[in-house]
C-alpha cells in the first residue's frame, strides 16, 4: 500500500450522544491510536474500541457504554506508531513485497510523527 496522506490526527467536538468517531488514515493495530477527551488519555477496550486496523481508508473509534464524550468536549484521535522494527528478514527466504511495503509505510509514518 501507499501512504497517500500526511494526516495522523482527527479532532472532534463531543455532543453527549455521538459514540462513533471516524479516522481516515492507516494504522497497523488498534493500539496505534491514542484517544484523548479534553486532553485526558483514554484506555483502549476500557473507554473505546477501534475498527479498521490495516485498512488504507482508516476506520472508527467507538466509545463504550458510559464513556460517551460530553457536550462541547474535545475528542482527539492521534496515530502513534511504536518505534520498533517487528519484521524479521531471514537470509535466503522468500521476500514478501507486502512485508517490505509495510516496513516502508511504517518508517514514513514515523517520519510524519517526528515532523
Q: What are the pLDDT tens digits along the chain (115 aa)?
A: 667 677 889 999 999 999 999 999 999 999 999 999 999 999 999 999 999 998 989 999 999 999 999 999 999 999 998 887 777 778 888 887 888 787 887 877 788 888 7
**Cell numbers of 86, please?**
517487528
The upper half-sphere exposure of residue 78, i.e. CA atoms within 13 Å in the direction of its Cβ, equals 16
What's the pLDDT at 83?
80
* Residue in 82, 72, 75, 98 with CA at minimum distance from that of residue 23: 75
Cell numbers 493495530 label which residue? 29
Question: Could you give the CA distance from residue 45 to residue 41 in angstroms, rounded to a whole number?
Answer: 13
What count of other Cβ atoms lies within 10 Å of the Cβ of residue 97?
7
pTM exceeding 0.85: no
Largest CA distance in the chain: 58
What's residue 91's pLDDT?
85
Amino acid at each position: 500500500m501507499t501512504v497517500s496522506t500526511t494526516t495522523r490526527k482527527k479532532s472532534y467536538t463531543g455532543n453527549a450522544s455521538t459514540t462513533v468517531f471516524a479516522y481516515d488514515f492507516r494504522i497497523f493495530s488498534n493500539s496505534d491510536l491514542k484517544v484523548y477527551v479534553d486532553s485526558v488519555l483514554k484506555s483502549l477496550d476500557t473507554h473505546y474500541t477501534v475498527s479498521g486496523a490495516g485498512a488504507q481508508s482508516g476506520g472508527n473509534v467507538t466509545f463504550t457504554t458510559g464513556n460517551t464524550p460530553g457536550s462541547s468536549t474535545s475528542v482527539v484521535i492521534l496515530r502513534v506508531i511504536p518505534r520498533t522494527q517487528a519484521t524479521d528478514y531471514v537470509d535466503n527466504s522468500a521476500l514478501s513485497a507486502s512485508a517490505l511495503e509495510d516496513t516502508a509505510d511504517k518508517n514514513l509514518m514515523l517520519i510524519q510523527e517526528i515532523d
